[in-house]
Every structure is written in structure tokens, then in C-alpha cells.
Amino acid sequence: MNLYIRYFDKETLVYSVDEAIDFLCSIPEVGMNPQIEADVREYAESDVLYPKRYKVRPRVYFIIIKTEAASMLDFKQKKALRPVGPQQERRDIAQPVVNKLNEERQGWYEGSLDFKRVVMVPSTGKHEYRDTHFVARCKALSGIDCYNRIVEHLRDRVDSRSQFPSAKGKNFRFKYLGMWK
């Protein structure tokens, strides 16, 4: 695997870790030291495929990217893209949350909601937020309808300062249970 290294307008594609170290040593601002050298070698030998940034000084970095490109031109034209792995395929196939929420499917839904509920502390008489988990089964037309029904139900029963999460976030989950009769 080759390494693409860039520091501002200085860039190169190298074929070994030693070449990468030599390139970085040629840039005085980087300030190569044994710690950075060891870290670059460790990154090059690891199975990690995402790019790595190294801090030179506040808000100034150099970047290293692993690539299978044979030349700088191939790298720039993105000819050495890695094949899509099984996890990436699953992620691409999965529908976005918004599409699942809006998918119309009449029937029973079970929705769970984690929200911040305002409660009074009896010993102090003050109010505080408490994380609350609420689960309900309801008849609904879609996932978003299920969310709206649950929030509507709770708004009438909890302090008005309570905070409800977005339907698109990780604090609301739902599942379709089946058609109503």
C-alpha cells in the first residue's frame, strides 16, 4: 500500500514508510522527531484505512492517506478506489431514517422515546430534568404519526418545560407490529 502525504502545497506519493519519513524530514516546519516517526510507521503497518492527521502546531496539520494508486495522477483521478466492503454495502442499501419514518403503513406501532422530563424535587422544592424512557403501543399510519401521537399524549401529562427529542434522532425508535382489525 502506498502513502500520499500533503502539507499545504507540498505533496507526494511514496511507496514505503522510509520514503515518507524522508519527505517529512525535508520539511523543516514539521519538526520530525522519533515520536512522529514511530507513529507514522505504526499507521503505515496498521489495518486502518482512513486518513490520518498529524498536528504540527495549532490549526496546522499534515495528512497521510493510504492508497493503492500507482502514481500521483492515478491518485488525483481516484483510479485506485478500494472496493466497497460488506458493511458499506449494507449502509448504502439501508433506507435513510426519514424515509422509514414517512413510509405509510397502517397498523399497530410500538414507539419508545427517551426524553428530558421536568420533575420537582420534594426536598428542595426546585425542578430538575430527569432522563425518562417511555414506551407505548398505538394505532398509527406511519412512524412519524406514531411519534406525533406519543408526544401529543405526553405533552398533556408532563410539565410543559419537558424536552422531547426529534423523531429523526437516536432517542426515538419504533417498530411496526401489524395491521389493525
Instruction: Encode pLDDT of 15-62 as tens digits.
Output: 999 998 999 899 888 888 888 889 889 988 888 888 888 888 888 888
| Residue-wise pLDDT tens digits, 145-166 | 999 999 999 998 998 899 999 8
Q: What is the pLDDT of residue 97?
A: 66
CA gap 4, 80 in Å, rounded: 12
Rounded mean pLDDT, 56-76: 86
> Closest Cα to residue 133, out of 149, 116, 146, 119?
116
* DSSP class of 50: S
Residues 6 or more apart from 124 whose CB is under 8 A from it?
A: none
H or E stretch at 19: helix 17-25
Instruction: Determine contact, residues 112/134, Cβ cutoff 8 Å.
Output: yes
> pTM, whole model, 2 decimals?
0.48
| 129 residue type, one letter | Y
- Better-scored residue on pLDDT, 1 or 87: 1
151, three cell numbers: 408526544
* C-alpha angle 120-122-125 in degrees, rounded to nearest 5: 65
Q: What is the pLDDT of residue 153?
A: 93
Confidence band for 132, pLDDT divided at 50, 70 and 90: very high
Q: What is the pLDDT of residue 93?
A: 46
Q: How many helices (H) and strands (E) does the chain have?
A: 6, 7
H or E stretch at 20: helix 17-25
Rounded mean pLDDT, 161-180: 88
CA gap 116, 155 in Å, rounded: 12
Which residue has 495528512 as its cell numbers? 63
18, three cell numbers: 522510509
Q: What is the pLDDT of residue 112?
A: 94
Q: What is the pLDDT of residue 29?
A: 87
Alpha helix ranges (H) inside 26-160: 34-45, 72-76, 86-93, 97-102, 143-155
